[in-house]
Amino acid sequence: KGVIHRICSGQVILDLSAAVKELVENSLDAGATSVEISLKEYGEQYIKVTDNGCGISPKNFQVLALKHHTSKISNFPDLQSLTTFGFRGEALSSLCALGSLSLETRTKNEPVGTHLTFDQSGIIKSERKIARQVGTTVTIENLFSTLPVRRKEFSRNIRREYGKLVSLLNAYALVAKGVRFVCTNTTGKNAKSVVLKTQGSSSLKDNIINTFGLNTFTCLEPLSLSVSEAITVEGFLSKPRQGTGRNLGDRQFFYVNGRPVDMPKVGKLVNELYKSSNSKQYPIVILNIIMPTQSYDVNVTPDKRKIFFSDECFLISSLREEIEKIYSPGQC
C-alpha cells in the first residue's frame, strides 16, 4: 500500500519546482503577504517555505496531510468557480510520501504555535508547542528519497531543476499583487545567496520593475486587449527590434486569472511574430488572460499548468492580430 501511495505521489510532484509550487500556492491561498523560500543545496537537502498567512487550526492537524483532505472545497459546484490554487488536497499528502515533512503553524486564535512532523502516510509522528508568529512554515527534507531512481535523477540534474524553480518563482512574484517574495539558497561551499527578492508591489508593472529592473521594463510594450465581452488579455511584451543583448527566452510568463500556466501555442505565436520583426532574440512576454472560471479547465495535468480553453482558436487569432499591430507598425 505504501508503495502505491509513493508512486502516485511521484506523479503529483514530478520535480523540485512542482514541490515548491504546491507550497507557495498553499501560502498564497492562506492569504500570505510574505512568502519566503529557503533552499539547502538547491533544494536537494531541504526546501522550507515560510508564510504569514492565516495558519492552520489545531482541529485540522490530524487530517491535514491525509490524502484528499482539503479545506478549500466543500461541494461540487464550488469546482467551477474556484479561485484558490489548491482544491484536491494532494500536495501535503504526496510530499509526506516523497520525503520528510514537518511544519510549524499558528493561527491568530492560538497564543502559541505548534510544530508537527508526519510519517510517510501523513499521520502525525510528533507534536510540540513552539513560539512563532501567525503563519505557517513547511519543510520538506530529502525530497524523492523514497523513490531512489527519481532521487538519483534529481541529484544529477539539480542545477537544471533549480533553474526551472527560479523561473517558476519569478512567475508568482510577477503576478502576485502585494505579496513579498524572498528566495535564498545555501550550499556547503558558499554563504547564503539571495536568489530572488521582491517587495510585493500592487501592480504588474511595479512587480516587473522590481523583478527585472527598470531597464528591462523600458524595453517592454504594454498590451491590453479585449477578446470578447468576458475575456481580456493584459500584459507586456518586448518592443520590436531591441538591440542584440542576451537571450531572454526564459522570461516568458503566461497566466490565466493570475494562475501561472503553460501556453505553448501563445508562446510560439509571440516568438514567431517577434522573429518576423527581424530580431534574433526571444521576446520577453508576460500575459495574463482574464476570463470566467467556467471557460477553462485546469484539471488536465496534476500540476494544473496545462489548461483547456473552450475557445482557444479565437483567443489565439485575436492575440495574433493585436501582436501583429505591435510588431509591424506601418504595415497594413
CA dist 153 to 119, 164, 241, 310, Å?
Answer: 24, 15, 40, 37
Closest distance to ligand ADP from the beta carbon of 137 (Å) = 8
In angstroms, the CA 238 to CA 242 distance is 8
Q: Does 298 bind ligand ADP (CB under 6 A)?
A: no
In angstroms, the CA 173 to CA 106 distance is 24
Q: Which of the ranges 48-56, 214-222, 225-233, 261-269 carries the binding residues for ligand ADP, by CB under 6 A?
A: 48-56
The DSSP element (H or E) to which 160 belongs, if any, is: helix 158-175
Nearest to 177 by CA among 202, 209, 197: 202
Smaller CB separation from Mg ion, 13 or 269:
13
Instruction: Please list every residue from 110 through 139 that binds ligand ADP, using CB under 6 A.
Output: 136
In angstroms, the CA 140 to CA 150 distance is 16
Binds 72: which of Mg ion, ligand ADP, none (CB < 5-8 Å by kind): ligand ADP
Closest distance to ligand ADP from the beta carbon of 308 (Å) = 20
Closest distance to Mg ion from the beta carbon of 54 (Å) = 14
Smaller CB separation from Mg ion, 50 or 279:
50
Q: Does 283 bind ligand ADP (CB under 6 A)?
A: no
Instruction: Please list every residue from 13 through 32 that binds ligand ADP, using CB under 6 A.
Output: 22, 26-27, 30
Binds 64: which of ligand ADP, Mg ion, none (CB < 5-8 Å by kind): ligand ADP
Three-point CA angle 268, 274, 279, nearest 5°? 125
Q: Does 53 bind ligand ADP (CB under 6 A)?
A: yes
Q: Which residue has the cell 510517510?
A: 120
What DSSP string runs through 212-236?
Answer: H-HHHHHTEEEEEEE-SSS-EEEEE
Q: Does 91 bind ligand ADP (CB under 6 A)?
A: yes
> Three cell numbers at 221?
510594450
Chosen residue from 33, 61, 72, 316 binding ligand ADP by CB under 6 A: 72
Which residue's Cβ has the minimum distance to ligand ADP?
86
Which residue's Cβ has the minimum distance to Mg ion?
86
Contact 284, 216 (CB under 8 A): yes
In angstroms, the CA 243 to CA 263 distance is 26
Report the interface residues with ligand ADP, using CB under 6 A. 22, 26-27, 30, 51, 53-56, 64, 69-72, 86-93, 136
Binding residues vs Mg ion (CB under 5 A): 26, 86, 91
